[in-house]
Amino acid sequence: MSPENCVAISVEPRPVESLVASAEALCESLNERFTPLRRQVFRTIAESSGPISAYRILDRLLDSGLGSGPPTVYRVLEFLQRLNLIHRVESLNAFVACMSPERHHTCQFLICTSCGTTAEMEAESLLASMSGIASGIGFSVNTAVLELKGVCRGCRDVSGALSLASA
C-alpha cells in the first residue's frame, strides 16, 4: 500500500484546547448544543493519555462535581460519536478523541500492547479493498472495525536499549 493511501493522523496529538475549540465550532456549524456536560465529557476524553472507558469518564465527572449516571454519560458518548468527535476503540471498550473531527472518516487504530498508546490512522483504500472482496462473495459490509495491536516505536526503542544494556 502506498503512503498516500494510508495516513497516520494522531501520531502527534493535537492540544486539548484545539480539540475543544474544533468540537465547539463543529457543534455550532451543525446547530447542535455543546452543553457543559458534553464539553466536560469530550475534554475528559481529549485529556486522557490513551483510550478511556465510560466508567472512568464517569469517575472523573464525579470527581469534578459534574456527576451523572451511566445512562447520561452513554447518551453523551453517542452524541460525540455521531458528530465524529470521538471514536470507540472496540477491543478496549474505550474512547479516544478524533484528531480530525472537521471531516467525517472511518479510522483504524494502532494499539501498543506495552504502553497503551493508541494512534488513529486512516486507510480508505484498504477498507475499500476489503469491502470489495466481501461484496464479491455476496457479503454486504455494514460496519468495519480494524485495530492492529503491536509495539510502538517508543516501547520498541526502550526494549531494544534494555536488551543491549543487559547483553
Q: Which three cell numbers stand for residue 71?
A: 445512562
d(C-alpha 158, C-alpha 121), whole Å: 23
Considering the four listed CATH numbers 1.10.260.40, 1.10.10.10, 2.30.29.30, 3.40.50.2300, the one that applies to the domain covering 12-102 is: 1.10.10.10
pLDDT grade for 43, boundaries at 50, 70 and 90? very high
Domain spans of the chain? 12-102, 106-167
48-90 residue pLDDT tens = 988 999 999 999 998 888 777 888 899 999 999 999 999 999 9
Query: CA distances (Å), 128 to each of 13, 99, 125, in order?
Result: 26, 22, 5
Nearest to 70 by CA among 85, 83, 56: 56
Cβ atoms of 130 and 1 closer than 8 Å:
no
106-167 CATH pick, 3.30.1490.190, 3.40.50.10490, 3.10.310.30, 3.30.2350.10: 3.30.1490.190
The predicted-structure confidence for 11-40, as pLDDT tens digits, reads as follows 455 689 999 999 999 999 999 999 999 999
- Specify whether the CB–CB gap between 106 and 121 falls below 8 A: no
Task: Tell me what pLDDT residue 165 has.
Answer: 54
Residue type, 19: L
Residue with cell 472523573: 60
- The per-residue pLDDT for range 83-142, each reduced to its tens digit, is 999 999 999 999 999 887 777 677 888 999 988 888 888 777 888 888 899 999 999 988
Instruction: Output the CA–CA distances (angstroms, integers) from residue 95 to 37, 82, 126, in the order listed.
Output: 16, 13, 23
pLDDT the model gives residue 15: 85
pTM for this predicted structure: 0.79
